[in-house]
A = this chain, B = another copy of it.
Amino acid sequence: MDNKIVDVAKKAGVSAATVSRVLNDSSLVSEKTKQKVLKTIEEMDYHPNAAAKHLRSQRTMTIGIIVPDIIVSYFSEIIKGVENAAYARKYKVIICDSDNEMEKEMEYLGLLSNRTVDGMILVTPLVSDDVIEEYAQKGYALGVIGRAVENESILSCKTNNVEFSEMAVRHLIEQGHKQIAYIGGYSDSMENYERMEGYLKALKDNRIPFKPGLIDSGYFEEAGGYAAAIRLFDRQEPFTAVYSANDEMALGVYRACRERGIRIPEELSVVGVDNNRITQYLLPPLSTVEQPKYEMGVCLAEKLIDQLNDQSESGQTKYVIDARLIIRDSSNYSRKRT
């Protein structure tokens, strides 16, 4: 077994408490003792046992983050923000990839109950508000990204879905489009609600009639977006533009267009959401809405850790960041429509 604190204490001729104080930068140690202990620690190549520390201090210096799929860059960029912010504060991050399975997400939430993690960040539309509230009620530290939950103690960071969606659809309208389809994500997710709301608002403000036949959804995934596009194409309802609630689904739309020989943007304009890295490499490059993914990750991790250490100055728990529209070639083809 490794050396323990008493081994160091013995060798340095002090007590375990003193070694512990040195380890934790306590001011109650004379400089001389401190140096002696430090030297001994170095000599013995001593490393404090994390589990013992966790048990004694009732904190693991670890947070978890639950995402549906780490491969999707929207999530990996958020994770990167979380990881960096956590690292700077000496926190570790446990990665919980739910594979879009509710059951797995629930199991990962259990890491809170058994104190494997001090807090948990959710970036998933699957777990319901009720479940999240329930955990908060029990006193667990939680944060969500991309949505918001009523409970005041639950941190959240999201973007202005309604506004940027309105902006995106208005942009399409300004390009001359009057028949604009909407491909949404999980129909009961906040992202979807709000983005659809923005879509409807833009239509209404421009006196464009809403057509239910132009609405479909694709679970925020490429395959779902593809299927939705195919369904839309096969209906009688014509359309010349699509607002896709995220980029992954827009990728599916691109695939469907390639298959059907539909040219973007000449025959169909497309706007997505997220500004995933891949979108700039597409042909044509995809117009999209920049989501400050890394920044949201950093923001939430910082606030969560502050909260864990009773350092949340403002007491603010809800953060909304403005996202901005990035216009690329997929929606940049001016023409007149009737």
Contact = CB atoms under 8 A, between A and B. Distances in A.
Interface in A97-111: 97, 99, 104, 110-111
A115 B297 CA distance: 27
A113 B50 CA distance: 9
A307 to B, nearest CB: 19
A76 interface: yes
A109 to B, nearest CB: 11
B51 A55 contact: yes
Interface stretch (A87-95, A178-186, A196-204, A260-268): A87-95
Contacts of A110: 47
Contacts of A116: 50, 92
Interface string A1-23: 11000000000000000000000
A39 interface: no
Interface residues of A, number: 45
A215 B206 CA distance: 58
> How many identical subunits does the complex contain?
2
B93 A95 contact: yes
Among A58, A84, A281, the most chain B Cβ lie within 10 Å of the Cβ of A281
Given A77-B71, A282-B281, A51 B54 contact: yes
B60 A71 contact: no
A36 interface: no
12 contacts: A47-B114, A49-B55, A50-B54, A51-B54, A62-B94, A71-B77, A73-B73, A73-B76, A79-B95, A95-B95, A251-B281, A281-B281
Interface of A: 1-2, 47-52, 54-55, 58, 60, 62, 69-71, 73, 76-77, 79-80, 83-84, 87, 92-97, 99, 104, 110-111, 113-116, 251, 254, 277-278, 281-283
